[in-house]
């Protein structure tokens, strides 16, 4: 399989759908797959036709972790020289809202990949976990940090220290999963959310994402200042004028992303 075939990309109604395609190994994240995912995300920055992204796998697995067979053969320097942080950074830096549509397994690097999204939609039979400790390593793509910010210290400690695999219901209860739906409804639900977001004023949507992500690690005062400045900037946008005029005129707005 070529590197291009490792990811299927399609676009509809302002939504880019990224589908991982290594079904024979439950979408295990080897280096070619990671690089291809990063390339796809990097390509969005100059594309005005993308307003939201759905990231998914297949019915058996979102992504069942890193490729252990590959990692078992390398040492520390080779691991360092892979510069994985640059690959993951392409996903984290996506300016558009990203929705992870999860069926089956989201384990290790797969769960970390899902946590790079802004919303996680999960099927009821999905499984989540950070089992790296069971093979002598630990999460290295944000699993200790994004998970702690999502579910708190004590839940994150339990998952990362035990390597426990949990149900989607438990993940939803602890705040990791945004929406829990029947397995056969996951993709449609994620697409519905993405299309809803894509229909809204793009600059306002991007500012909401940016302020939430950057504000969570700032002091409350700094985060509130960031929020105020973003709001003030939006008052200069054409979409602000269009949205308010449409509201007052009782018509549907037409947003242009300006």
List residues with catalytic annotation: 66, 109, 112, 132
Q: Which residue has the tokens 């996680």?
A: 120
CA 202, CA 257: separation in Å to the nearest integer? Answer: 5
SS (H, E, C) 37-67: HHHHHHHHHHCCCCCEEEEECCCCEEECCEC
Over its C-alpha atoms, the chain yields an Rg (Å, rounded) of: 19
**With 0-12 CB in 10 A as exposed, 13-18 as middle and 19+ as buried, what is 226?**
middle
The residues, ordered by sequence, that sit 6+ positions from 8 with a Cβ below 8 Å of its Cβ are 17, 18, 19, 21
Q: Could you tell me which residues are beta bridge partners of residue 202?
A: none
For residue 9, give the DSSP letter: E
Residue located via tokens 């390593």:
137
Q: Alpha-carbon distance 189 to 121, whole Å?
A: 8
* Sheet architecture: strand order including 61-63: 61-63, 105-107, 127-129, 165-167
**Integer Cα distance of 192 and 58 in angstroms:** 18
3-state secondary structure of 238: helix
Which residues, in sequence order, are bridge partners of residue 53?
16, 98
């Amino acid at each position: 399989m070529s590197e291009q075939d490792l990811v299927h990309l399609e676009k509809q109604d302002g939504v880019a759908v990224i589908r991982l395609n290594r079904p024979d190994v439950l979408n295990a994240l080897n280096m070619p797959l990671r690089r291809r995912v990063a390339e796809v995300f990097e390509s969005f920055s100059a594309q005005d036709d993308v307003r939201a992204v759905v990231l998914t796998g297949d019915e058996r697995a979102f992504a069942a972790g890193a490729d252990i067979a590959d990692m078992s053969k390398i040492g520390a320097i080779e691991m360092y020289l892979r510069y994985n942080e640059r690959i993951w950074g392409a996903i984290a830096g996506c300016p558009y809202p990203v929705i992870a549509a999860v069926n089956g397994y989201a384990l290790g690097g797969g769960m970390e990949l899902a946590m790079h999204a802004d919303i996680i939609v999960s099927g009821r039979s999905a499984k989540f976990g950070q089992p790296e400790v069971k093979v002598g390593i630990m999460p290295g793509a944000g699993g200790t940090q994004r998970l702690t910010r999502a579910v708190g210290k004590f839940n994150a400690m339990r998952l990362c220290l035990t390597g426990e695999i949990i149900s989607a219901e438990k993940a939803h209860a602890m705040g990791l999963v945004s929406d829990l739906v029947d397995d056969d409804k996951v993709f449609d639900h994620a697409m519905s959310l993405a299309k809803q977001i894509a229909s809204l004023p793009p600059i306002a949507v991007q500012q909401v994402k940016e302020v939430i992500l950057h504000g969570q690690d700032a002091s409350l005062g700094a985060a509130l200042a960031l929020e105020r400045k973003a709001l003030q900037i939006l008052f200069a946008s054409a979409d602000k004028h269009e949205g308010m005029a449409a509201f007052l005129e009782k018509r549907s707005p037409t947003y242009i992303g300006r």
